[in-house]
Amino acid sequence: MGNDLNDRSRTILEAIVDDYISSGDPVGSRAMTRRHNMDISPATVRNVMADLEEMGYLASPHTSAGRIPTDKGYRYYVDSLLQLRELTSREKQRIEDHCNVEKKSVESLLQETGKALSSLSSYAGIVMAPRFTSTVFRHIEFVRLSGGKVLVVFVSQSGLVQNKLIELDEDLSQRELEKITNYLNNALSGMTIQEVKEKVAAEMKQEKALYDELMQRALNLSDKALAEDVEERVYIEGASSFLELPDFADVGKMKKLFLAFEQKSRLVDLLDKSQEASGVQIFIGSANSYNEIEGCSLITSSYRNVHGTIGTLGVIGPNRMKYSKVIPIVDYTARLISRLMETGLGKEK
């Protein structure tokens, strides 16, 4: 992408994006040459700005003679011009203090991680809990409810808890459910949920299951409990920060954004995408393909345990976000959570 801009164009585009991120005001040629001590005339800068606008990197708001970056401009800036800064020792310590694992459950650790991301970035922190199919099974419990329903409680080796409601095909007493619980916990402990699914499917095809009533009931019940993955958990912290941003003064845009936060399915799609590649991923503006978060950028990174990638965390903010600051925050936090998942609270044995 960088071959179509010469050095002067790159320098001017970088200055415009930096100024707009700092001020939120359209950037004019005369003010920019003064601020950046450019050894060229405002007229030359205006000509370059006009060229950048024609190529789609800048836009002209109707109310101003200045320019603002487009999504394409931000993308070029992030990919080719951005200079990341190092986190200070104080910033790293603040993240570590939030994520101190002592006496914390996995859920509270992930919530605190979201708060840390929000607090340091001044935008919204977002954390997707590990997909339950990727966690290691430790315990399952069936609790009989009225109306032929059963509450299924899954517990992973790391302490992550998920609940699911299913309907019985046959009436089972709590005592029978306890027998099934004990059988499954002995037979399946130590496998990932995905491996449990595969084993249950294979066992159901075995002829021996037809002659063992307890095994048959256990397999039927666990197959129903595992038929669909449990709902993904997404923790969002600091969403109210958007209320302070002039970028979201439009009530309609704000409503769509908060609806996306509430429903979360679109965010889960984006967070899933970020797990497909290693390192920090940056989704900018219209490139997201999700109208609900139009005008936003999402910076994410995956975290992992000894079994591989299990979840995603990041920061969502306006396109006009401080990328040089936020990217290192997301990267450091993901590495820290990975270490904790591999060696501390989230260690799967």
User: What is the per-residue pLDDT across 33-62, written as a single tens digit (0 to 9) for each?
Assistant: 888 888 888 899 999 999 999 999 999 987
For the chain, what percentages of helix, strand and coil (3-state, to nearest 5) are there?
55, 20, 30
* CATH number of the domain enclosing 241: 3.30.450.40
The tens digit of pLDDT for each residue in 74-108 reads: 999 999 999 998 999 999 999 998 887 665 677 78
Partners of 165 in beta bridges: 151
* CATH number of the domain enclosing 26: 1.10.10.10
Number of structural domains found in the chain? 3
Is the pLDDT confidence value at 294 over 60? yes
Last residue of a domain, one of 192, 225, 258: 225
Using the 8-state DSSP alphabet, how is residue 192 labeled?
B
Distance CA 176, CA 92 (A): 52
Question: What phi, psi does 284 have (nearest 5°)?
Answer: -120, 125
* CATH number of the domain enclosing 191: 3.30.390.60
- Residue 104 sits in the same domain as residue 248: yes
- Residue 242 sits in the same domain as residue 333: yes
Residues 6+ apart with CB under 8 A from 318: 123, 242, 245, 247, 248, 295, 296, 297
- Please answer whether residues 150 and 177 qualify as being in contact, where contact means their C-beta atoms are separated by less than 8 angstroms: yes
- Does residue 36 lie in a domain region? yes
- Residue 159 sits in the same domain as residue 67: no
Is the pLDDT confidence value at 3 over 60? no
- Residue 154 sits in the same domain as residue 238: no
Helix pair 106-121, 323-343: axis angle to 10 deg: 160
- Residue 151 sits in the same domain as residue 281: no
The tens digit of pLDDT for each residue in 178-224 reads: 888 888 888 877 777 777 778 877 777 776 655 577 777 777 777 77
- Mean pLDDT within 130-159: 78
Partners of 69 in beta bridges: 58
Q: How many CB atoms lie within 10 A of CB 115?
A: 17
Distance CA 304, CA 285 (A): 27
Partners of 321 in beta bridges: none
- Predicted local confidence at residue 70, as pLDDT: 93
Residue 182: both structure tokens together:
């004990």
- Residue 300 sits in the same domain as residue 238: yes
Question: What phi, psi does 82 have (nearest 5°)?
Answer: -65, 135
Is the pLDDT confidence value at 25 over 60? yes
Last residue of a domain, one of 195, 225, 255: 225
Question: What phi, psi does 253 have (nearest 5°)?
Answer: -65, -40
Helix or strand (DSSP H, E) at 236: strand 234-237
Alpha helix (H) residue ranges in the chain: 7-23, 29-35, 42-54, 71-76, 89-98, 106-121, 174-188, 193-205, 208-211, 213-225, 251-263, 265-274, 323-343
Residue 15: both structure tokens together:
């200055």
- Mean pLDDT within 292-297: 80
- Residue 52 sits in the same domain as residue 109: no
Last residue of a domain, one of 191, 225, 259: 225
Residues 6+ apart with CB under 8 A from 104: 112, 345
Is the pLDDT confidence value at 228 over 50? yes
- Residue 127 sits in the same domain as residue 75: no
Distance CA 293, CA 189 (A): 41
- Predicted local confidence at residue 347, as pLDDT: 45
- Does residue 69 lie in a domain region? yes
- Residue 176 sits in the same domain as residue 151: yes
Residues 6+ apart with CB under 8 A from 280: 299, 300, 301, 327, 330, 331, 334
User: Which residue segment(s) compose the domain that 335 sits in?
Assistant: 89-131+232-343
Q: Closest Cα to residue 296, out of 233, 241, 234, 335?
A: 241
Which pTM value belongs to this model? Answer: 0.76
- Residue 182 sits in the same domain as residue 38: no
| DSSP 3-state of 228 | coil
- Residue 318 sits in the same domain as residue 239: yes
- Residue 244 sits in the same domain as residue 96: yes
- Does residue 349 lie in a domain region? no
* Confidence grade of residue 145 (pLDDT, cut at 50, 70, 90): confident
